[in-house]
């Protein structure tokens, strides 16, 4: 069983990406989920993780090479196995020689086939699969099967011949400058891959989408107050989070804005995937808060912070930048008051957020100094007209000027976005190698010898530590003095766990009744205790040190 690593498709417009760096070399062992290489796409640098544990059998595209979406980059095989024969000849094709600067960029085989014209290609599913892996254009293959169907053998024959000349990738030709005798550039800066593809995308968006822009000025006094009252309750939401929340709500009420225009149709999405433009040292990237409609302001805030952090550390995953349905670009931090943004195709609209300044506004006939802000929303005029766009624009304004939708949030606690703890255990022969991971932290519990705790002991350890932590939290909340604490957890030795006995030892001056109540609370609060089934006899004894 082998796994091909392919160039991912990270958006409707992406047709190719660049191999930036291989973190592994052919022959290296890889773990499942371990970063194998970094590719650069039109939007970001993305680490591609191994789909399985095994060995990187082959590298099929060298660093710096541009590869079409869906084409293979490398192959992972399980240990002890060899690379698949489906792509056997690809390995012989040196990717290096193909990375020259000549010619046009490679596109995916599907695209090549459709470009070839109206000729319908009849090929077996297997033949299509192999052709796609090898980047072979099926329209150029003669079929020998029933009714002229292209079979596996037909593709293999072509493959053997063509693969050597098939350009795995090329850098786009450099565009000629307008340098003349009189005006020579002092130096040339090559755009990064992200910038280059970005340049191409804005060009096509600008050329193809008839833009119109609506601008409004918004009195932000109450929005800022609402933010303060939320944060007074212990949260840390930003002004941007408030603006994003209002935007999401307005999008829910105006679903046609959360849409794409395509060939005489509006493709309307119920799910709101909010792209947020983030500035990084390498340029603008646009991570996406998926299903933002399902999040409240705290959820949006947490997710936005997480994505911005990932973006700045170049840790964005492919899923983090896919499928935005609407984008917010906030240049307020740079003091920009207003602008006329360019939509990211195929989205229908993009909102530009300006800086908040004190301004003199006319409030009920009087001149008042208020924190004010301008937004500019660009719309695709093919799918939207000025009237339905205005309903959205003015709704965003109205929500921010009367942010009652945030009122309830200030006093309620909301669940943080779900994160999972992870424990990784490998069995090598008789031994268990255990590693606990949480966020960026890792604790190996044993070396690769036979000294790892068995599963039940691990569980008892988790139970004991959870009870202790729960006890300390409960004591702190009740302002009870607790000194040393220790716990002993024990179960029957063999077979299914039938009984668990726990003894807690606590150094404290509180009286017996208080101590027992404290332990009761601790037991109730212990997440691991809650996992134990009713059939298991559980006893919890308390003693003083």
**Residues with a known catalytic role:** 381, 385
CA 224 from chain center: how many Å?
29
Task: Determine contact, residues 65/47, Cβ cutoff 8 Å.
Answer: no
Under the criterion CB under 8 A, does residue 128 sit at the interface with other proteins? yes
CB of 80 to other proteins, least distance (A): 17
Under the criterion CB under 8 A, does residue 126 sit at the interface with other proteins? yes
- Residue 85's CB is within 10 A of a number of other CB atoms, namely 9
125-130 long-range Cβ contacts below 8 angstroms, 24+ apart: 126/151, 126/152, 127/151, 127/152, 127/154, 127/155, 129/86, 130/86, 130/155, 130/156, 130/159
Judged by phi (left if over 0) then psi (alpha if -120 to 50, else beta), residue 161 lies in alpha
135 versus 332: smaller Cβ distance to other proteins: 135
| Max Cα distance, the chain (Å) | 95
Judged by phi (left if over 0) then psi (alpha if -120 to 50, else beta), residue 439 lies in left
The binding track of 436-475 with respect to other proteins, each residue x by CB under 8 A or -, is ----------------------------------------
3 versus 269: smaller Cβ distance to other proteins: 3
What are the tokens at 268? 């309307």
Q: Please identify, among the stretches 44-52, 122-130, 222-230, 270-278, the one whose residues bind other proteins according to the rule CB under 8 A.
A: 122-130
CB of 75 to other proteins, least distance (A): 16
125 versus 365: smaller Cβ distance to other proteins: 125
Which one among 37, 66, 127, 197 touches other proteins, defined by CB under 8 A?
Answer: 127
**What does the alpha-carbon distance between residue 406 and residue 224 come to, in Å, rounded to a whole number?**
11
Instruction: Give the contacts of 361 (CB within 8 A, at least 6 positions apart).
Output: 217, 219, 367, 368, 369, 370, 372
Q: Give the three-class secondary structure for 481.
A: coil
Task: Determine contact, residues 166/93, Cβ cutoff 8 Å.
Answer: yes
Which one among 124, 229, 434, 501 touches other proteins, defined by CB under 8 A?
Answer: 124
The binding track of 132-151 with respect to other proteins, each residue x by CB under 8 A or -, is -------------x-----x
Under the criterion CB under 8 A, does residue 129 sit at the interface with other proteins? yes
CB of 231 to other proteins, least distance (A): 52
What are the tokens at 308? 């911005």
The CA R_g of the chain, rounded to the nearest whole Å, is 30
Which one among 125, 182, 234, 495 touches other proteins, defined by CB under 8 A?
Answer: 125
The binding track of 361-400 with respect to other proteins, each residue x by CB under 8 A or -, is ----------------------------------------
What are the tokens at 362? 């006319």
What are the tokens at 379? 């719309």
146 versus 439: smaller Cβ distance to other proteins: 146
CB of 428 to other proteins, least distance (A): 26
152 versus 320: smaller Cβ distance to other proteins: 152
CB of 125 to other proteins, least distance (A): 5
**What does the alpha-carbon distance between residue 69 and residue 13 come to, in Å, rounded to a whole number?**
11
**What does the alpha-carbon distance between residue 59 and residue 48 come to, in Å, rounded to a whole number?**
13
CB of 91 to other proteins, least distance (A): 19
**What does the alpha-carbon distance between residue 477 and residue 466 come to, in Å, rounded to a whole number?**
16
Q: Please identify, among the stretches 119-127, 342-350, 437-445, 529-537, the one whose residues bind other proteins according to the rule CB under 8 A.
A: 119-127
CB of 2 to other proteins, least distance (A): 11
131 versus 302: smaller Cβ distance to other proteins: 131
Site for other proteins in 148-187 (CB under 8 A): 151-152
Q: Please identify, among the stretches 121-129, 221-229, 414-422, 438-446, the one whose residues bind other proteins according to the rule CB under 8 A.
A: 121-129
Binding site for other proteins (CB under 8 A): 124-129, 145, 151-152
């Amino acid at each position: 069983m082998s796994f091909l690593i392919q160039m991912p498709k990270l958006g409707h417009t992406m047709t190719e990406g660049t191999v930036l760096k291989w973190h592994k070399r052919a022959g290296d062992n890889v773990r499942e989920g371990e970063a194998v290489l970094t590719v650069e796409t039109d939007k970001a640098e993305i680490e591609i993780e191994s789909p399985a544990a095994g060995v990187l059998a082959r590298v099929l595209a060298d660093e710096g090479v541009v590869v079409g979406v869906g084409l293979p980059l490398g192959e992972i095989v399980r240990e002890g196995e060899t690379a698949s024969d489906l792509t056997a000849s690809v390995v012989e094709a040196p990717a290096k020689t193909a990375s020259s600067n000549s010619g046009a960029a490679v596109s995916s085989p599907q695209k090549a086939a459709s470009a070839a014209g109206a000729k319908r290609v009849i090929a077996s599913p297997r033949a299509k699969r192999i052709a796609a892996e090898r980047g072979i254009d099926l329209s150029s293959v003669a079929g020998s099967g029933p009714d002229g169907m292209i079979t596996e053998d037909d593709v293999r024959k072509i493959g053997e011949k063509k693969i050597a000349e098939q350009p795995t990738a090329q850098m786009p030709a450099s565009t000629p400058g307008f340098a003349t005798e009189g005006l020579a550039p002092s130096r040339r800066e090559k755009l990064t891959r992200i910038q280059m593809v970005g340049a191409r995308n804005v060009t096509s968006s600008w050329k193809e989408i008839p833009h119109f822009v609506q601008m409004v000025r918004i009195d932000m006094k109450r929005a800022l107050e609402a933010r303060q009252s939320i944060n007074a309750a212990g949260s840390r939401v930003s002004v941007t989070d408030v603006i994003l929340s209002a935007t999401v709500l307005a999008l829910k009420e105006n679903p046609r804005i959360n849409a794409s225009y395509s060939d005489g149709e509006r493709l309307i999405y119920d799910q709101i995937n909010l792209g947020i433009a983030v500035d990084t040292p390498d340029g603008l990237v646009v991570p996406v808060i998926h299903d933002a409609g399902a999040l409240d302001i705290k959820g949006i805030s947490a997710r936005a912070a997480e994505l911005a952090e990932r973006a700045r550390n170049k840790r964005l995953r492919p899923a983090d930048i896919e499928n935005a349905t609407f984008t917010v670009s906030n240049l307020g931090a740079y003091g920009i008051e207003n602008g006329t943004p360019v939509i990211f195709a195929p989205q229908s609209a993009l909102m530009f957020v300006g800086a908040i300044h004190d301004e003199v506004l006319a409030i009920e006939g009087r001149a008042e100094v208020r924190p004010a802000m301008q937004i500019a929303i660009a719309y695709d005029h093919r799918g939207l007209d000025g009237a339905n766009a205005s309903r959205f624009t003015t709704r965003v304004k109205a929500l921010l000027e009367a942010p009652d939708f945030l009122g309830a949030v200030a006093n309620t606690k909301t669940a943080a976005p779900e994160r999972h703890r992870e424990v990784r255990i490998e069995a090598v022969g008789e031994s268990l190698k255990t590693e606990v991971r949480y966020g960026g932290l890792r604790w190996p519990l044993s070396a690769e010898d036979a000294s790892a705790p068995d599963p039940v002991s691990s569980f008892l350890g988790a139970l004991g530590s959870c009870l202790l932590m729960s006890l300390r939290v409960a004591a702190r909340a009740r302002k009870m003095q607790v000194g040393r604490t220790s716990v002993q957890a024990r179960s029957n030795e063999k077979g299914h766990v039938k009984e668990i006995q726990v003894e807690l030892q606590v150094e404290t001056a509180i009286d017996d009744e208080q101590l027992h109540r404290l332990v009761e609370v601790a037991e109730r609060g212990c997440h691991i205790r809650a996992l134990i089934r009713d059939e298991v006899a559980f006893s919890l004894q308390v003693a003083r040190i």
